[in-house]
Amino acid sequence: MTRKYRFSRIALVVIMLLFSVLMLLPIVYMFNHAFKPYHELFVYPPNFLVREPTIQNFIELLWVTSNSIIPLSRYLFNSLSISLITVVLTTTVSALCAYALAKHEFPGRALVFSTIVLMLMFAPEVVQIPRYLVVSGLGLLNTYPGHILPMLALPVGVFLLKQFMEQIPNALLESVRLDGANEFVVFLRIVVPICMPAVATVAILSFQSSWSNLETSTFFMQDDEMKTFPFFLSTLTNNLANNVARQGAAAVAALIILVPNLIFFVILQGKVIDTMAHSGIK
């Protein structure tokens, strides 16, 4: 029995390693793609690994941005600042909403939660016109809040946090209230630390959706200085005479889009694992 159990564990580890390698292949390809010279970018069949690495693509991206009115640093600043603020606000709003739905009774609670679940079914394209009308009506076109406000509603974040918070015993919260703690203390000192795995997951989803978002720059911003890096990436190869020009710069820009997502995910993934191992309810 012991030998059979050991063999099954080894087989499981091997299978998981194979799946891990498959998941890493697109990331490895994007890193190699950014360093490929032009004759490797268009070779058929394509090379997975770069054979003659070069930094010419990075120089080309800097050259393209040096000739534009808006510098590359402005696009990156907009994307980073908007994404970080959106993560903080979205996580806070989702956690507060989930806490009210999970641990408080109020009229219409079931209807509110059913509406949130129903919102998971809608594609982003369905709500583009209502979002534009709301942002325009509030006078937020061409402003930073115009980037942030449409991203605050994250139904999947509320759903995940509510399901996680429902596992917290009500007796634990009542004991804290009997000690004189108000609702904000209960929420910040008890609920949030216990729910950190779900909070970190919501933060990851929020950052990924905000960092790669193209909708707000396209529809809500008229001035180029208010637009984000994904919008700049979408314009690199537009309106050119051929499909070859600037492909190296586009490969580097795609890598720049990937790296912050990857770093943010790796940091919070470790937090999720650590919290799930050490934040048991005692």
User: Tokens in use for 170?
Assistant: 């009500």
The lowest-confidence range among 102-106, 247-251, 257-261 is: 247-251
pLDDT at 238: 65
Cα–Cα distance, 147 to 221 (Å, whole number): 8
pLDDT grade for 244, boundaries at 50, 70 and 90: low
Do 71 and 17 share a structural domain? no
Cα–Cα distance, 191 to 102 (Å, whole number): 11
Give the other-Cβ count within 10 Å of 239's Cβ.
5
For 24, 48, 230, 246, 253, the CA distances from 45, given in Å and listed in that order, are 21, 9, 28, 21, 23
pLDDT at 4: 62
Residue 116 has pLDDT above 70, yes or no: yes
Q: In CATH, what number is assigned to the domain containing residue 181?
A: 1.10.3720.10
Cα–Cα distance, 164 to 226 (Å, whole number): 37
Averaged pLDDT for residues 105-121: 86
Do 129 and 10 share a structural domain? no
Do 167 and 82 share a structural domain? yes
Domain range enclosing 129: 67-278
pTM summary value: 0.83
Residue 280 has pLDDT above 60, yes or no: no
Q: pLDDT, tens digit, for every residue of 119-131?
A: 888 777 788 888 8
Give the other-Cβ count within 10 Å of 152's Cβ.
16
Task: Tell me the average pLDDT of the chain.
Answer: 83
The domain total for the chain is 2
Cα–Cα distance, 133 to 84 (Å, whole number): 25
For 131, 208, 243, the CA distances from 149, given in Å and listed in that order, are 9, 16, 36
Do 36 and 100 share a structural domain? no
CA dihedral 184, 189, 190, 192 (to 10 degrees): 80
Q: Find the length of the chain.
A: 282
Residue 278 has pLDDT above 50, yes or no: no
In-domain check, residue 62? no
Which among 257, 252, 279 has a CA at the least distance from the CA of 64?
A: 252
**Dihedral pair phi/psi, residue 222, rounded to 5°:** -100, -35
In-domain check, residue 61? no
Cα–Cα distance, 239 to 52 (Å, whole number): 30
